[in-house]
Chain A
Amino acid sequence: MAGDSQHTAYPKLLNLFIFNSTYGQKEGHEHEKILFYYPNSADLDTQVRHVGLAEAITRFSSTFRKDGDCEAVHTQKTRQLFMQPEPNIWMVMTVAIGWVSRMRESGPVREYQSEAVQDVVLRACLASLYRTFALRHSSFNAVLEARGLEGLKATLESFLTSYMSSVELSSGDILTVWSGVSFLPLDRQTFLRIHCCLSLLQASFPTIAHTAFFYNQHIVWCGLAMEDLRSLSQYLNTQLLPSRKDSLTSSTSSSSSSSHTSYLSRFVGKGVTPSLQVHVRDECGELQPHHLLLYSLMGVTICLTFAESESLTPQLFEKIDRLLESKVSQLASDIGEQASKKAGSGPGAEGGSGGGEGCRGQRWGEHSAMCTTTT
């Protein structure tokens, strides 16, 4: 009875690797297949063995199933998930299944909780990982073409290291499966004001390709396609905004009231033209590289995308700030007021307040109404 931790174990990520099955065909060159391996503390031999086994499983299973890939391998202690997001490139994740130690006649016995690990959840984790990668870098093949094999490896390394530090891959719930976005409940008039603010922004800066408006973690308006919204909101909520919150609080503690002086402090990123490269769908549904600007003020985050060919200048940032600052702070305080009012009035008030109510609650209600007819 050393410690409680010895009695239970929670699901844990054992490894995560990405390999290209067409590389390293010659014997002794199998390590060339590996594009990324976590944990990188594992020696090359272990890496090659795991990759080899995974590839063998996928090839073996493909003889039985023509219309799809091998999805998962269940063992007593592990669960391995396979995903082939691009031809011949496989993402494989292995999760250790949690267990509970119980006393039996023969002594302590570990009972593995295999139900606690769901294939769909893990698959969704992998899919959202790939989606986030695609948002930033388009695809594995695109990076390969642009930067070569070493470039791809380096990109994967840096991307996944930061991704895995902020997202827990081995756990998830139904929300992960659907990777849904949560819409902010707002009345019609406030929503329209936000919409008009963004229209004005787009009219003033015609080079803006898309706009999106977030309040805290909730989406209010998105000019992007639905698929992109999913990856964008995920990326924002898991990676960009939490880190920003930390940096903001630390900066305000060190230097007070400096946020007022610099318009750049309201943009997320570094340098005089803080922006990120993302790949989002254009009007024809093709993934195209774009600049992503994030303007963040009082809980509101406005995402702006520009086509990659547009050059961003510090003047542009300043002009955008001049247009947005007062409007956004006004909107943010109004939204906050509404949200707190809603929270104060409780769920009972929601039904009575009628047509202008926020969409999330309403939509849930409708779904349940429709569900009774469908199930």
Chain B
Amino acid sequence: MGAMGDARGYLELSPDPVRFEPVSKVTNVFFDDTSKEVLSVRGGGTLGVVVRGQGRDHTFRMEDRGPISSLKFSPDHTVLAVQRSKNAVELLSYNNGEVGAGLTQECRAKSATLLGFIWTNNDDLALVTDHGVEFYQVSRERLGVRHLRSYSVPCTWFVWSPECLLLLLCCGTSPSSTTLQPFSFKPGQSTKLAKFEVEVSGPGGPNAPGITLGERDVCVGWVYSLPSVCVLRHPASPSVTAALDVYTQNKDSQFKKAYTCRLELTGRFAVNIIDSLIIVHHQASKTSLLFDVLVGGGDGGGGMTWVFPLPPPRSVQPFSLVEASALPCQAASPPSLPCELYAPTWVVFQPDIVIDARLGCMWHLQLRLDCLAEAVQDKTQLVDCLLRRKQAKSLVLLVVRKVVESGQLACLGQIFDKINAAYRQHLNTILQSQMGESVSFSAAASGGVERRVVVVEQADMYSAVLAPLMEEAEKVEKEGKAGVGDKKLSVRAVVGVVVEYTRSLGAVGVTVQHFLYELVINALVRARHFYQLHQLLQYHVLADSKPLACLLLSLVGVYSAGQQLSLDMLCRLNTAHDEIIEVLLSQRQVTPALRYARSVGLAESVSARKFLEAAMGSGSDQVFYSTFTFFSLRNTRLRGNPAFAKGEHCEVFVEHYKKLFGELPDYSNQQL
């Protein structure tokens, strides 16, 4: 816990941090948020600039022409921009470690102070001054700068998000609110968006003087594919706790407060947005809170939703630096040094970067969804959250299985509903792509706020959860209740789970696949709960099918109603006339079989031999007589002669008839 981390933490630092030369008297360290690189500048550049990033590592030297207040590469690393003065930026061409000639671009507004500069694209540079924003195009071939546009907005500080290509200017402070001016960028283009006000005072508390919004309190990132601005609202009085307001961009590109995350803490915070989850680090308690704005919110009125931490606050997982020691070490493994977490020297950048400038480490913060699954008590919320995470499918299935095994069936229905809502959404998308754009009305619906990306299909649920559970339950039951102590699931309970799943599928209108029914049917048959099976069939819970009808037929020995159920089902299927006739004949119900054949129009084509054989086998002379007469009449009708055709092989029945009733009657004069 605390400074050394929590082994059950649902966040971890990337195992291979980017190491850089830490801050010292001769070394200045800069973080380039566009390329996510750390630049260590030694001796103003003359002793070398070391660029360290994930999979990138290079060094160069440049002249020391005064203290550097900022330096950033263009995204393609062809131009290095350096700020040394209050109102100008040096642009230097850069080619694989060689710094070339450059030029200096001053602010166009004469009295303006440069607050900073940003690369919005390979060729696009924006200078942010206290007078506004100046947008330039940098041509790399001849290293020229062309002014594209200027915006005049008085500004005290700014926040830039390279992920969202969104620039926020703080352009006005009143006692209770601060006005932010957003700009959005595209290659070669800049757009001024509608400004919006953010609340500054703590939730509920009266505004106290001295609380102003700083750039540290604002961060920008993607939350469920919407550019979102997170604003920390510090409390005005110590009795209230801080909150994090999330302003999302709506269809008209306006930012509106959509969520408020309840932090229930006070003090210093830092925010990361990882995979649309908002993570708030709290320095004093050395823990992190995790919010999923779409899960478990409470209505706060005015289109705003209260969001509560999904899992209880926990520290990041412990991290040890493996120091490659300078001296050849006697010990086989290099010493590992546990790092202090949530150190005051930590600096956090979007989306997932944590830098400890004193240690000289840059980590990417990573989610440990498996630990998150353990930590979240409300499994419905957990599944809801996991369904929105890529690659969480196996984890979702694991969670479902654990929920079933631990007997928390109360929330299982809701979990299935969530999973199947995502499944339905996925099927809709497929359907739309097949049908083209004609169904555009539902496109908006499926692309709406739900955004669940994990699709658990019936086969997944079957193979990962339902079938193994059933197997286990049956094994336990077969071995006799060996351990009464261990609370293993009964077959009945697993059947309940499968039925719950089919209910949930049915609720969203998904056709249940046959293997799920088979699971229920087989379990009920093996447990000899025939009457329960009967009831499920009565209510059409189990869909009709020929295999199911055959199975029911095979149960006649142990469950007499099986035959009628089976016949009813075959009758409903309306494609199984031959089977019905076969069943009836096998029961020696020759006359009913014949009647059925006639009712479905098969009387002219059925095999006479089959019926006569069954009639003879029935032992009733009357039945044989009727059957024989029926076919003799048919022969007369079809061929004008009561005799059977050679190919029908009915000689033996003719003989039998003669033995019982004498000569064959002549039907030729009968009216047909």
* A contact residues around B564 at 8 Å (CB): 370
CB-based nearest A residue for B489: A203
Task: Say which one of A1-9, A46-54, A148-156, A220-228 lies at the interface with B.
Answer: A220-228
Interface size class of B (residues with CB under 8 A): 35 or more
Collect the chain A residues with CB atoms within 8 Å of residue B468's CB. Answer: none
Select A359's contact among B410, B495, B502, B539, beta carbons within 8 Å. Answer: B539
Task: Tell me, in angstroms, the Cα distance from A359 to B532 when the chains sit together.
Answer: 14
In the complex, whether A261 has a CB less than 8 A from a CB of chain B is no
Q: How far is the CB of B466 from chain A (nearest CB, A)?
A: 14
Interface residues in A205-242 (C-beta closer than 8 Å to B): 206, 221-226, 229
Contact partner of B496 (CB less than 8 A), chosen from A196, A366, A373, A374, is: A196
Residues of B within 8 A of A206 (CB): 487, 490
Evaluate contact between B409 and A186: CB separation under 8 angstroms: no
| A159 CB to nearest chain B CB (Å) | 27
Interface assignment of A114: CB less than 8 Å from any CB of chain B: no
Q: Which residues of B contact A199 (CB under 8 A)?
A: 409, 492-493, 495-497, 499-500
- Asked whether any CB of chain A lies closer than 8 Å to the CB of B188, the reply is no
Collect the chain B residues with CB atoms within 8 Å of residue A45's CB.
none
Q: Which residues of A contact B506 (CB under 8 A)?
A: 188-189, 192
Q: In the docked arrangement, what's the CA distance between A241 and B426, Å?
A: 48
Q: Do the beta carbons of B531 and A226 come within 8 Å of each other?
A: yes
Q: How far is the CB of B434 from chain A (nearest CB, A)?
A: 25
Nearest chain A CB to B580 CB, angstrom units: 8
CA distance A221 to B592 in the complex (A): 33
Q: Which of B493, B593, B595, B599 contacts A202 (CB 8 A)?
A: B493
Q: Mark B399-431, 1 if CB is under 8 A from A, else 0.
A: 000000001011001000000000000000000
- CA gap between A308 and B564 in the complex, in Å: 36
Identify whether the interface residues of B are mostly helix, strand, loop, or mixed. Answer: helix
- B594 to chain A: closest residue by CB: A373
> Contact between B496 and A203 (Cβ–Cβ < 8 Å)?
yes
* CA distance in complex: A129, B452 (Å): 59
Give chain B nearest CB distance to A205 CB in angstroms: 11
- Check B658 for interface membership: any CB of A closer than 8 A: no
Which residues B585-610 have CB closer than 8 A to chain A? 589, 592-593, 595-596, 599
A195 to B503 Cα, complex, angstroms: 9
Note all chain A residues with C-beta closer than 8 A to B503.
Answer: 189, 192-193, 195-196
| Interface presence of A204 (CB below 8 A) | yes
A-B contact count (CB 8 A): 92
Nearest-CB residue, chain B, relative to A223: B532
Known contacts A356-B540, A359-B538, A359-B539, A374 near B493 by CB under 8 Å? no
Among A196, A370, A373, A374, contact of B500 (Cβ-Cβ < 8 Å): A196
**Nearest CB of B to A202, in Å:** 7
Q: Does A103 contact B (CB under 8 A)?
A: no
Chain A, range 337-375, C-beta contacts under 8 Å to B: 355-356, 359, 363, 366, 369-370, 372-374
A372 B541 Cβ-Cβ under 8 A: no
A272 at the interface (CB under 8 A from B): no
B567 within 8 A of partner (CB)? yes
- In the complex, how many angstroms separate the beta carbon of A306 from the nearest chain B beta carbon? 15
Could you say which of B528, B539, B596 contacts A373, with CB atoms under 8 Å apart? B596
Residue A283 interfacial (CB < 8 Å): yes
Residues of B within 8 A of A226 (CB): 531, 534, 561
A193, A202, A224, A374: the one contacting B592 at CB < 8 Å is: A374
Q: Does A73 make an interface contact (CB < 8 A)?
A: no
Interface size for chain A: under 10, 10 to 19, 20 to 34, or 35 or more residues?
20 to 34
**Are A372 and B535 in contact, CB atoms less than 8 angstroms apart?**
no
Q: Say which residue of B409, B492, B535, B595 sits within 8 Å of A222 (CB atoms).
A: B535
Which residues of the other chain, B, contact A373 by a CB distance below 8 angstroms? 584, 592-593, 595-596, 599
Q: Closest CB-CB distance, A228 to chain B, in whole Å?
A: 9
Whether B26 is near chain A, meaning CB under 8 Å from some CB there, is: no
Q: How far is the CA of A366 from the CA of B409 in the complex (A)?
A: 37
Q: Which residues of A contact B538 (CB under 8 A)?
A: 183, 359, 363
Q: In the docked arrangement, what's the CA distance between A225 and B568, Å?
A: 21
Query: Which residue on A lies nearest to B499, using beta carbons?
Result: A195
A78 and B46 CA atoms in complex are apart in Å by: 127
Which of B407, B532, B592 makes the CB contact (< 8 A) with A203?
B407
Taken together as a complex, chains A and B put the C-alpha atoms of A221 and B409 apart, in Å, by: 20
- Interface presence of B371 (CB below 8 A): no
Q: What separation, in Å, do the CA atoms of A262 and B495 have in the docked complex?
A: 33
The answer, yes or no, to whether A263 is at the interface (CB within 8 Å) is no
In the docked arrangement, what's the CA distance between A189 and B502, Å? 9
Residues of chain B lying within 8 A (CB to CB) of residue A144: none
0/1 interface trace, chain A 99-124, chain B, CB 8 Å (1 if under) = 00000000000000000000000000
B502 touches A192 (CB 8 A): yes
For B413, what are the chain A residues with a Cβ–Cβ distance below 8 Å?
196, 200
Q: What separation, in Å, do the CA atoms of A193 and B506 have in the docked complex?
A: 11
Chain A residues whose CB sits within 8 angstroms of the CB of B539 once the complex forms? 186, 188, 191, 359
Residues of B within 8 A of A202 (CB): 492-493, 496
- Shortest CB–CB separation between residue B265 and chain A, in angstroms? 35
Given the interface pairs A196-B500, A203-B493, the reply to whether A188 lies near B531 with Cβ below 8 Å is no
Contacts of B541 in A (CB 8 A): 188, 191-192, 195
Contact between A355 and B500 (Cβ–Cβ < 8 Å)?
no
Indicate whether B343 reaches chain A with its CB closer than 8 angstroms.
no
A195 nearest in chain B by CB position: B499
Task: Indicate which residue in A196, A229, A355, A369 contacts B499 across the interface (CB closer than 8 Å).
Answer: A196
**Contact among B492, B497, B567, B595 with A372 in the assembled complex (CB-CB below 8 Å):** B595
The reply to whether A370 and B409 form a contact with Cβ atoms under 8 Å apart is no
Please indicate the chain B residues that have their CB under 8 angstroms from the CB of A372 in the complex: 595, 599
**Is residue B645 contacting chain A, with contact meaning CB distance below 8 A?**
no
State the CA gap A250–B540 with chains docked (Å). 40
Residue on A nearest B542 in the bound complex, by CB? A188
- For B584, list chain A residues within 8 Å (CB): 373
Q: What chain A residues lie within 8 Å of B527 (beta carbons)?
A: 283
Q: How far apart are the CA atoms of A199 and B502 in the complex, in Å?
A: 13
Chain B residue contacts of A192, Cβ below 8 A: 499, 502-503, 506, 541
Contact of B664 with A by CB under 8 A: no
- Which residues on A sit within 8 Å (CB–CB) of B322? none
Contact of A204 among B409, B532, B535 (CB under 8 A): B409
A residues in contact with B499, CB < 8 Å: 192, 195-196, 199
Assembly CA distance A90 to B90 (angstroms): 115
Cβ contacts under 8 Å, A356 to chain B = 540
Contacts of B535 in A (CB 8 A): 221-222
A183: B residues at CB distance < 8 A: 538
Q: Give the nearest-CB partner of A357 in chain B.
A: B540
Residues of the A chain whose Cβ atoms lie less than 8 Å from the Cβ of B103: none
Collect the chain A residues with CB atoms within 8 Å of residue B410's CB: 200, 204
Please name all residues of chain B whose beta carbon is closer than 8 Å to the beta carbon of A200 when the two chains form the complex: 409-410, 413, 496
Rounded to whole angstroms, the CA-CA distance of A359 and B535 in the bound complex is 9
Residues of chain B with a CB closer than 8 A to A223's CB? 529, 532
Cβ < 8 Å to B, chain A residues 171-194: 183, 186, 188-189, 191-193
Separation of A347 and B536 alpha carbons in the complex (Å): 24
How many Å lie between the Cα of A203 and that of B536 in the bound state? 19
The smallest beta-carbon distance between A208 and chain B, in angstroms, is 10
How far is A225 from B561 in the complex, measured between Cα atoms in Å? 13
Task: Give the Cβ gap from A221 to chain B, nearest Cβ, in Å.
Answer: 6
7 contacts between A and B (CB under 8 A): A195-B503, A199-B497, A200-B496, A202-B493, A366-B568, A372-B595, A374-B592
Q: Given A196-B503, A222-B535, A370-B567, 11 more contacts at CB 8 Å?
A: A188-B539, A188-B541, A192-B502, A193-B503, A195-B541, A199-B409, A202-B492, A221-B535, A356-B540, A370-B571, A373-B593
Residues of A within 8 A of B (CB): 183, 186, 188-189, 191-193, 195-196, 198-200, 202-204, 206, 221-226, 229, 283, 355-356, 359, 363, 366, 369-370, 372-374
B residues near A (Cβ < 8 Å) are: 407, 409-410, 413, 487, 490, 492-493, 495-497, 499-500, 502-503, 506-507, 527-529, 531-532, 534-536, 538-541, 561, 564, 567-568, 571-572, 584, 589, 592-593, 595-596, 599
Closest CB pairs A-B (n = 8) = A199-B496, A192-B503, A359-B538, A191-B539, A373-B596, A203-B409, A373-B592, A374-B592
